[in-house]
Each structure stands twice: as C-alpha cells, then as structure tokens.
Amino acid sequence: MLPFRFIHAADLHLDSPFAGLSGLTDQVRKQLQQSTFTALDRLVQLATTERVDFVVISGDIYDSANTSLRAQLRFMEALKMLDGEQIPVFIIHGNHDPLDSPRLEVTLPPLVHTFGAEPESVTVSRRSDGQEIAVISGMSYPTSKVKDNISLRYSKRKNSDLFHIGLLHANVDGDQEHETYAPCTKKDLIGSGYHYWALGHIHSRRILHELPYIVYPGNIQGRHIRETGPKGCYLIDVDEDGTVAMHFRELDTVRWSEIIVSINDCCQPEDFRLEVEEQLAQIASSHTSVFNMVRIRITGRSKVHQMLEDGYILDDMLNELRRKEDNRAGMAGFAGGVWVESFRLESGADFQLDQLLQEDSFIGEMLRMAEAQHVEEAGRNSVIQAAMKPLMEQAEMRQLLLEISIEEQKEWLRRAMELNTVLLLDDQIAGGSSV
C-alpha cells in the first residue's frame, strides 16, 4: 500500500442563519454569519498547506435545501481553489442538501466527484505519479428523508490491496439526539471490510471505532449553544501498512461554551458580577484565536438569588457586558473576544432544600410533590397545561407556547417551586408559627 494523506470533513452547513439569537449587534451578527464561510476557507488552506492527496466531505454542505446563491458560489470557489492545487474532492449530499434541492446548474471542476443517488465506488490515484492509492465509495441522499439502512447497499470491499473509504451520511447506532436518517449499526459498517468510514450527520466529533475506523468529524463551525467546543476536521495519514493516524484540526472562528458561576459565596450582586467578569477574562485569555459565545449558568444558593430573580440586575449586566465587548471587538477584532449568549438562572434562595424535603410539614409536602412532578411526565404535563390554559386561548400565544421545550418547562416548574418555598418560609417567619 502507498502512504497517503487526506482530509475528512462533514456538515459544513454553509450560510447557517444563526437565527434565534437576541441582542446581537450588527457587527457581531455579521461575524457569526461569516463564520461557516471562514471555516470553509480554512479547510481549503489546510488542504493546501498539508499537501493532502484528496478531501472527502460527508454531506450537509449547505444548511438548507433552499440554500442561498451566496453559499453555492462560495463552495464553488473553494472547489476551484482545491482543483487549482490538484487536490481531488469527493462529496456526498445529506438530509440538509439532498440531490433534489433546487440548486444552480453548474459544471464542477474536473477533480471534484459528487456521488449520485446510488452507491458507487471510485479509485483515486496519486496526482504526482498516477499510482492508485484508495477506493472511495459513497452515495448522496436523493431526497431529504432517507429512512432505510443504505449502508447495506454499499458494495463490500473489492479484492484489492487498496485502502477502502466509505462516505456515509447516517445516524449510526441510533443516537437519540439526532434524527434517525439512514440508520445503521457499527456492525453493519465493520461487515463491509472497509478501512475507514467517513461519516457525517452527527455534529459532535466522535471516533466510534478503530480498525476499522468509524468517524464523525463533527461540523466545521458550531452554530448554537448545543454545539460547544472546538470544531473542525480530521487530517488523516495512512502509512504503507495501512495504519491510520488521526489529527484533529480546528477550523472555527466562533466557539460556543457554557460556564457555571455559583452564587454560594456571594453576599451581594456585586460579588456575583465580579465572579462573572473574572471567569470571562479567563476565557478571553485562554481562547485567544476564536470569538467566544458563552452561556452563563448561575447555580448555588444564597440571598443573592432573589435579587437576581426580582430585579433588572441580570438584564443590565448583560447589556453592559455586550456593549463593552462590541466596543472592544470594533477596535481590536473578534479573536479572543467573549460575548455572553445568555444567563440561565438555575440558582435558588437561601434555604436547605434537602432538609425541607424531609420535613413533615406543608412545605415539605409541597416540595415532595413538586419534585415528583419534575421527573414524572404525566404530572408535569397536567400542571403545565393547567397553568397555560388561559394563555392557550390566544392564537399567537399558543403558537409561542407550543415551541417551549421540555427543558424550559422543567425550568419553569423549578423556579415556581423556589418562589413558593420562599413565600411560604417568609410567611412562617411573619406569622411566627408553623403552617
């Protein structure tokens, strides 16, 4: 076997709209909307400087079937640059950009191969001397909904010494957090005899298996708070024995993360504010090459909780932090910046929840009921539905409420429980007796 080097990328989601984010300034929004394209530019740069033999892209190049003209032109430009560098590119399309989506009729550069709606295998040759180095198999989604196990339709490894790569956009082993397109199992993939399965679809980076390699490189640029951490692609070296060496390479310019700030040791909101600023400064100094989008989860228990819950302290703080960051980024650029995506108030008032839960009292009983509703779906639904009934009668409100996630509903219940407890405890103190 001849040694070679290739790049495996997937889920480019070019021109993702970054919708649903509030409070962005114009330049920050622009930075976000440019980020998927910047990641693509970096991918091209990496392929060129590392002198790879070829690049494979495992689906979801575009964010939606109705992709923008801009996304198509930018992708074409990238393909032309790779072609100019004599680097072949192998592409499959996935559920976000199936073959039946309306797109420009364009002639692709000669070294680009897009797999069609049926599995097909092609042999790749080294550009320098024309010697064969690998066999690549793949198929694109004809429509957005591919529900059958297409991996079984790929032909088994041919009787050849060449390294075999399968390009597949699929949900392997039924990942519950992602839609089950082209469901298959690791066993199916191992059974093919291929050396490397270049997967796409799941946006978090995972090496599911080695020998053979079954790999999700993740998307090249995170798009929201559920896509945290460094994003990029794999640069892969295959040596003469067929041994694989995987190197992850970052391509993102905007990076999402969550931090936790506890109010346990805070006596007043100012203590909390200082703690937040300290943690943000730490992120800025340790992630200097990306623009950091940070969610701050507030946890712990102290009397500061009620002040954060009641007043406008968090709104004011958020506006102030964002205003300062916008100014800073305007002058010094986005790298190393920190933008607060949101605060999540998950803290509580200053009482001993564990102790109250044990108590043979009205509060104890209420807390036990609330806890049960929190975990048990039927109970939770009945409480939420009863509370929302008046609002559901209004058409626009109904539309908004239907979009509330289970996590948000749980959060409402938890905050209601906190508030109830505080009111009942205050009442006890005022009344001087147990309820």
Q: Give the residues lining the site for Mn ion (CB under 5 A).
A: 11, 60
Q: Smallest distance, Å, CB 41 to Mn ion? A: 20
Q: Smallest distance, Å, CB 189 to Mn ion? A: 19
Structural Rg of the chain based on CA atoms: 26
The DSSP bridge pattern shows strands 89-92 and 196-200 to be unpaired
Between vectors from CA 302 to CA 296 and to CA 305, what angle results, nearest 5°? 50
Q: Smallest distance, Å, CB 9 to Mn ion? A: 12
Token reading at 102: 């309306």
Is the CB of 138 or the CB of 300 nearer to Mn ion? 138
Are the beta carbons of 416 and 429 closer than 8 angstroms? no
Sign of CA dihedral 31, 225, 168, 4: positive
Residue nearest to Mn ion (CB): 60
Pairwise CA distance, residues 303 & 57, whole Å? 52
Q: Smallest distance, Å, CB 231 to Mn ion? A: 12
Q: Smallest distance, Å, CB 59 to Mn ion? A: 7
Is the CB of 57 or the CB of 367 nearer to Mn ion? 57
Hey, is 291 helix, strand or coil?
strand
Q: What is the maximum span of the chain, computed from C-alpha positions, in angstroms? A: 91
Pairwise CA distance, residues 421 & 184, whole Å? 49
Q: Smallest distance, Å, CB 248 to Mn ion? A: 18
DSSP 8-state class, residue 110: T
Is the CB of 19 or the CB of 429 nearer to Mn ion? 19
Is the CB of 11 or the CB of 15 nearer to Mn ion? 11
Is the CB of 166 or the CB of 218 nearer to Mn ion? 218
Q: Smallest distance, Å, CB 131 to Mn ion? A: 34
Is the CB of 59 or the CB of 119 nearer to Mn ion? 59
Hey, is 168 helix, strand or coil?
strand
Between vectors from CA 140 to CA 232 and to CA 73, what angle results, nearest 5°? 60
Buried b (16+ CB within 10 A) or exposed e, 371-383: eebbeeeeebeeb
Is the CB of 11 or the CB of 325 nearer to Mn ion? 11
Nearest residue to 184 (alpha-carbon basis) of 223, 226, 139, 152:
152
Cβ-based neighbours of 22, under 8 Å, separated by 6 or more? none
Q: Smallest distance, Å, CB 200 to Mn ion? A: 7
Is the CB of 138 or the CB of 336 nearer to Mn ion? 138
Hey, is 137 helix, strand or coil?
strand
Sign of CA dihedral 160, 162, 163, 169: negative
Is the CB of 198 or the CB of 329 nearer to Mn ion? 198
The DSSP bridge pattern shows strands 206-209 and 213-216 to be antiparallel
Q: Smallest distance, Å, CB 63 to Mn ion? A: 8
